[in-house]
Amino acid sequence: MPPPAKQAPPTAPAPAAKTQAVAAPKSQPQKALEKMGLRRDIDLALHLPLRYEDETRIVMLKDARDGDMVQIEGQITHSEVTFRPRRQLRVTIDDGSDTCVLRFINFYPSHQKTLSVGARVRVRGEIRGGFVGREMVHPSFKLAGGELPGALTPVYSTVAGLPQAYLRRAVLGGLGRADLSETIPAPFLRKTPSQPLLSLRDALQFLHHPTPDVALSTLEDHSHPAWQRLKAEELLAQQLSQLQARRVRAAMRAPALSGPAMRGPAADGASLQGPQCTLYEQLLERLPFRLTAAQQRVCAEIALDLQKNIPMHRLLQGDVGSGKTVVAALAAVRCMDAGWQCALMAPTEILAEQHFRKLIAWLEPLGIRTVWLTGSQKAKERRESLAMIASGEAALVVGTHAVIQDKVVFKNLALAIIDEQHRFGVAQRLALRSKMSEGGEEPHLLMMTATPIPRTLAMSYYADLDVSTIDELPPGRTPIVTKVVNDARRDEVIERIRGQLAEGRQVYWVCPLIEESESVDLVNATHTHEALSNALPGVLVGLLHSRMSVAEKKAVMGLFTDGLMGVLVSTTVIEVGVDVPNASLMVVEHAERFGLSQLHQLRGRVGRGAAASACVLLYSTGDAPRLGEMARARLKAMVETNDGFEIARRDLEIRGPGEFLGARQSGAPLLRFADLEEDADWLAWARDLAPRMLDRHAELAHRHILRWLGGKAEFLKA
Ligand code: ADP
Ligand code: MG
C-alpha cells in the first residue's frame, strides 16, 4: 500500500555532511542508506528515480478514464466502516464533476479523521470502475490546499527501513551539496557536432525533478538528453579507471623471469643440455601427452609476459577440460627456473587438493618442493608449511584462501595463479598480490576461468586484462551427448546408469542447490541417494553435500576418484573443476533450476577421457503445464552446443550483462545506466577520450573517477 501522503514529514536530518566530526548514533534510515551504498552526497545525487508520479495536475473525475493514475481534489460526502465482504473504510468523494469511492482495508483512526465528512482532500491513486461505481483502493491522500509541485515526483528504489519520503529528502540534499562541476574538457562535450551534452548538474536536476511536459517515454527508454549525459559520464569513468589501472600497473615492477639463462653458472646457456636442462623442459618431457597447439600458444603468451619486469595481468580462459592445469604448471616451473616462488590458489579445498596431487605427481620427481596450505590443516603441519614458504624451501604453495592470510610470508613470490577466478572476490586477489616481500614489486598474476567472457564485455569491463584463450580440446575426446528428459522417466535413466556401471564407468548425479533452503535439498538428495542405492544393489553409491565436514567430503571424493564408488550423488555443484576421467555419465536432477554456465560446468565433469560420455538433464515442471521460457532456452542451448564460448554468448543473451558479470566478479562496479550494445557510440567516445584526458587533463580525470567510483577505483586494479 502506498503510504498515505498525510504522514508527518520526516524529521530525521539529511545524512550528515562529510565535515561533521562527531558521529551521532545512526538512525535506522541512515543505516539503510549506507547499506544501499548511498554514503556520499554524490552517491545520493546519482541515485536516480525508478519512475515518477505526476502530482502537478488535478484531474476532474469526469475526465479520468479507468486505469488512469490520477490526482483529484474534492469534498468527502460520506464515510463509513463496513464489514462485508470484510472490514473496510469506505469514503465517498465529490469533486463537483463526479463522485468516487475510496476504499481502505487497512486503516487507522487518524485516516478516518482526515477523511471525515465535509473535509476537502487531495487524493492520488488508480481509478477503476468498481461494482457500484468508480473507486480507488488505498489511494494516498492529504488535506487539500498547498501549492501543486512544478515537477514530477520521483520514486526511488529503496529498502526496508528507508521510507520513500526520507530518501527523497536525502537525495534532494545530496543533489544540492554534491560537487557537480564540469569534468569533461570543453571540446568533448558532444558526441556528434549536432549533439551537445547537457551539463551534469542540469541533467541530474532534470532526472530527479522533470518538468511535467516531458515525454515520459524518453525517460523510460533513457533516450532523453539528460540520460545521455549520465551514460556518457558513466562509460567515461569506467574507461578512465581501467586505463589508469593499466598505466599504474605498467609503472609497477615485477621480477623479470627470463628463464634458465638467469640461473647462476648456466647463464651462458652452455650447460643447457643433458641433465642440466631446465625444469620447464623436464616437465614437458615427462608429461604423458603432447600439448595441443592452443596450449603451446598460450604458454608462449604467458612466457613473454613473465619475461617482462611489468606485472603480468592475464586471464587464461578455456573451456572445461581444455587443459588449463598443465599450462599453470608450466608457468609455475618457468618461475622456479628463474629461482622464484609460485602460489596457486583454488576456491575450494577439494579442488585445491586435486591440483596439489596432480602437481606433486608432476613436480616432485623434478625435485621441486610443493607445500599445502588450507584452513582445515593441523596446526603443526601448517607451521611447517609456513616455515618452508618463508625460508624459500618450498618453491610452490598450493591451497585455498589460506594462502592469502596475513601469517603467510613468502621468501620471494613472483607468480600467483588463481583457478576459477570468478569464485574469488576482488579483495582476495588484491591480498594475493600484496604478498611480495620485495619492496615495491608485485607478483605476476595468472587467472584461470572456464567461463569465457564475450568480446563486448571483455572490451569494456576487462579493458585492463590481457586474455589468453585455449580454443581446442585435447585430441581423442568424444563429444558429450546431452539429453533433456522428463523426470517422470527416471527409471530409464537408472537403466542407463546400470549400463555405464556394467562397462566399469562411473556416474555423477547432481541434485539442485536452492540457496534459501539447504535442508530441503538435503532431504531431496538423501531420498535420491537411498533410491539409487536400492535400485543398484552391490554398487557403492556415495553422498556428498555441503553440510559435511571437509574430512568427510574428502573421504567420499577419495573413494570416487579411486574408482571404488560407482555413483556419486551430490547436492553441491560438484566442486567445479574435479577431474575423474573414468566418469562417463552426468545426471542433473531439476536441471531447470540451474544457470546455463553452471550446467555447462557440470557437464564438463564427464567426457574427460576417451569413453563416449553423456549428460542427462532431468527436468520437472512441477505444477505448471510446461517449463518457463528462460529455463527452456537454457536446456535448449545445452542440447545444441558443447562449446563454452557459445554457451557464454547464449547465457549473456538470456541473462543480460548485469547478472552475467555480477556472478563472476563481486566488487567490480557494473554499469548502472549505460548499456554496452545500445550505447556503443558513447563507449567509443569514452574510449577515445580517456587516454587524452589522462594525458592532458589529469586533474579532471581524477575528479571524474572519484565522483563515479569513489573508493572502488582501487578495486579495479585487482
Ligand atoms: P580444465 O581446463 O578444465 O582445468 P584440466 O586441466 O583439468 O582441464 O584437464 C582436463 C584433463 O585433460 C586432465 O586429465 C588433463 O591431464 C588432460 N589433458 C590436458 N592437456 C592434455 C593434452 N594436451 N592431451 C591430452 N590430455 C590432456
Ligand atoms: Mg580446472
For residues 37 and 92, is the Cβ–Cβ distance under 8 A?
A: no
Q: 71-143, which class in CATH?
A: mainly beta
Cβ-in-10-Å burial (0-12, 13-18, 19+) of 291 comes to middle
Q: How far apart are the first and last CA of the chain?
A: 44
Pocket flag, ligand 1, residue 419 (CB < 6 Å) = no
For residues 456 and 661, is the Cβ–Cβ distance under 8 A?
A: no
Check residue 20 and report its DSSP letter: -
Cell matching residue 13:
536530518
Separation of 307 CA from ligand 1 center, angstroms?
A: 26
Three-class SS state of 78: strand
Q: Which fold has domain 260-470?
A: Rossmann fold (3.40.50)
For residues 320 and 390, is the Cβ–Cβ distance under 8 A?
A: no
Domains 260-470 and 480-641 share a fold: yes
Whole-angstrom Cα Rg for the chain: 31
**What is the per-residue burial (b if ≥16 Cβ within 10 Å, else e) of 153-185?**
bbebebeeebbbebbbbbbbbbbebbebeebbe
Residues of the chain with pLDDT under 50: 1-20, 261-274, 516, 662-669, 713-718
Report which bound ligand comes closest to the CA of 318.
1
Report which bound ligand comes closest to the CA of 420.
2
Which of 287, 289, 468 has the most ligand 1 atoms within 8 A of CB, as the residue to mutate?
Answer: 289
Phi first, then psi: give them for residue 482, nearest 5 degrees.
-110, 130
C-alpha span between 184 and 200 (Å, rounded): 10
Tell whether pTM > 0.75: no
Pairs from 555-561 (Cβ < 8 Å, separation ≥ 24): 557/350, 560/506, 561/354
Element (H, E) at 300: helix 293-307
Residue whose CA is at the smallest distance from ligand 1 atom 12: 323
Place of cell 581524477: 702
Q: Where are the domains of the chain?
A: 71-143, 260-470, 480-641
Neighbour tally for 109: CB within 10 Å: 7
For residues 479 and 644, is the Cβ–Cβ distance under 8 A?
A: no
DSSP string, 340-403: -EEEEE-SSHHHHHHHHHHHHHHHGGGT--EEEE-TTS-HHHHHHHHHHHHHT--SEEEESGGG
Separation of 362 CA from ligand 1 center, angstroms?
A: 13
Separation of 347 CA from ligand 1 center, angstroms?
A: 19
Pocket flag, ligand 1, residue 289 (CB < 6 Å) = yes
Place of cell 573414468: 582
Residues with CB under 5 A from ligand 2 (ion): 577
Pocket flag, ligand 1, residue 474 (CB < 6 Å) = yes
Q: Which atom of ligand 1 is nearest to the CA of 419?
A: 4
> Which region, left, alpha or beta, applies to residue 146 given φ > 0 means left and ψ of -120 to 50 means alpha?
left
Pocket flag, ligand 1, residue 433 (CB < 6 Å) = no
C-alpha span between 698 and 502 (Å, rounded): 69
For residues 10 and 163, is the Cβ–Cβ distance under 8 A?
A: yes
Pocket flag, ligand 1, residue 601 (CB < 6 Å) = no
Nearest to 543 by CA among 534, 598, 551, 533: 533
In Å, how far are 15, 53, 590, 650, 652 from 594, measured between CA atoms? Answer: 41, 38, 8, 14, 15
Cell matching residue 373:
596450505
Residue whose CA is at the smallest distance from ligand 1 atom 25: 474
Separation of 563 CA from ligand 2 center, angstroms?
A: 20
Neighbour tally for 710: CB within 10 Å: 15
For residues 605 and 561, is the Cβ–Cβ distance under 8 A?
A: no
Pocket flag, ligand 1, residue 451 (CB < 6 Å) = no
Report which bound ligand comes closest to the CA of 358.
1
C-alpha span between 436 and 574 (Å, rounded): 33
C-alpha span between 585 and 582 (Å, rounded): 9
For residues 598 and 466, is the Cβ–Cβ distance under 8 A?
A: no
Three-state secondary structure string covering 650-701: HHHHHHCHHHHHHHHCCCCCCCCCCCCCCCHHHHHHHHHHHHHHHHHCHHHH
| Strand pairing class (541-544; 614-619) | unpaired
Q: Which atom of ligand 1 is nearest to the CA of 608?
A: 11
Which of 290, 317, 579 has the most ligand 1 atoms within 8 A of CB, as the residue to mutate?
Answer: 579
Three-class SS state of 503: coil
Report which bound ligand comes closest to the CA of 319.
1
In Å, how far are 262, 270, 308 from 267, measured between CA atoms? Answer: 5, 8, 18
Report which bound ligand comes closest to the CA of 348.
2
Residue whose CA is at the smallest distance from ligand 1 atom 20: 323
> Which region, left, alpha or beta, applies to residue 59 given φ > 0 means left and ψ of -120 to 50 means alpha?
beta
Cell matching residue 145:
490546499
C-alpha span between 705 and 590 (Å, rounded): 45
In Å, how far are 101, 134, 140 from 129, measured between CA atoms? Answer: 10, 4, 18
Given 3.30.565.10, 3.40.50.300, 3.40.50.720, 3.30.1330.30, which CATH number is that of 480-641?
3.40.50.300
